[in-house]
Amino acid sequence: MVTSSGSSFVIETSELVKMYGPHLALDGVNLKLERGATGFLGPNGAGKSTFFKCILGLIKTTSGDGSVLGYDIRTQGEMIRSRIGYMPEYDSLDPDLIAIDQVRYSGELLGMNSKQATQRAHEVLEYVGLKDQRYRKIETFSTGMKQATKLACALIHDPEILICDEPTNGLDSRARTFMLDTLKKTVTDGGRSVLMSGHVMDDIQEVCENIVMIHQGRIVVHRQINELARQVDVEIEISVWGGSSKMQTALEERGMSVRRLGRVMRVKQDSPETINQILSTAADCNVQVRKLNEYKPDLEDIFLLIMERLGQEVKGAKDLMTEGHTGGGEDF
């Protein structure tokens, strides 16, 4: 799908800089997001919220350009916010209202007339699983139901982009699964784009195919999650019994890279022979290998690895990342 400007990207920014006084919140952000689900990761204060505020046209950027769905973020904020659904992380609901009225009012604030907003509020509340609770006061809702109501408020006008700020915060396992399924369905069935920020890597991995990592106002990684996972070293995870230290020393003497967590060790797989080498080392050391499997890195591993590396030199992301992590490209 092509946006009103003719571009296939839903969000584009170029050298976006935002300064709060002397504090640099966004440092030359270059980003091109295609349709689909994208996860935003970064520690607190990394610039995620500032970036969202910039693309919603809520704050003035210090320099640089940007567009959302073809609309300029500096001059067409209202148009952008008409076509975006935003689900805040914290409570943003009037506890005295019943759910249907809250969702209807949020639709009216977008310019829907009362009849349209009421009809649509029923539809979206059903979609988020609150059909039977729509006439209950929000103050009686659980955290999961409040999150679902916020999602309904964001979806009422069928936005092209849905921005969710930590949508699974405070949810139990069942509510979390439902929320993530709903977001996935919004992308797959609804054909909408979802931008989701959070700290829980599993959630982002479950919904998103792309990931953007922000650190100290810079985009340090922007790739497909699967692609990124492939670029992290593959390891063989073994669980040993009777002589872990001896085994670790023996493996390292044979030139293998070992990470040890108690009786569990992860050995970097340099070649298909690695498994045989591990087993023969175990036999030589007279150590039992009770479990052996290929360890698949998840987003958490990738995130921690990248942040650990960034911690060594704050602004030197490009220098610190290996070609394997960056894919060898100009932009991560």
Q: Which residues would be at the binding site for another protein (CB under 8 A)?
A: 49, 52-53, 56, 58, 77-79, 81-82, 84, 86, 88-97, 101, 104-106, 108-113, 116, 120, 123, 127, 129, 131, 153, 156-158, 165-166, 181-182, 185-186, 189-190
CA 153 to chain centre: 21
Q: Strand 235-241's sheet: what is its strand order? A: 258-261, 264-268, 235-241, 288-295
CA distances from 27 to 13, 50, 51, 219, 332 (A): 12, 11, 10, 9, 15
Closer residue to another protein, CB minimum distance, 58 or 307:
58
Residue 192 Cβ, how far from another protein at the closest point, in Å?
A: 8
Residue 59 Cβ, how far from another protein at the closest point, in Å?
A: 9
Closer residue to another protein, CB minimum distance, 124 or 306:
124
Cα dihedral 144, 146, 148, 150, rounded to 10, equals -150
- Helix, strand or coil for residue 313? coil
Closer residue to another protein, CB minimum distance, 181 or 227:
181
CA 239 to chain centre: 31
Residue 44 Cβ, how far from another protein at the closest point, in Å?
A: 9
Closer residue to another protein, CB minimum distance, 88 or 327:
88
Residue 82 Cβ, how far from another protein at the closest point, in Å?
A: 5
DSSP at 297: P
First to last CA, the chain: 24
Q: H/E/C letters for each residue in 209-253? A: CEEEEEECCEEEEEEEHHHHHHCCCCEEEEEEECCHHHHHHHHHH
Residue 141 Cβ, how far from another protein at the closest point, in Å?
A: 13
Closer residue to another protein, CB minimum distance, 50 or 244:
50
Closer residue to another protein, CB minimum distance, 86 or 303:
86
Residue 211 Cβ, how far from another protein at the closest point, in Å?
A: 20
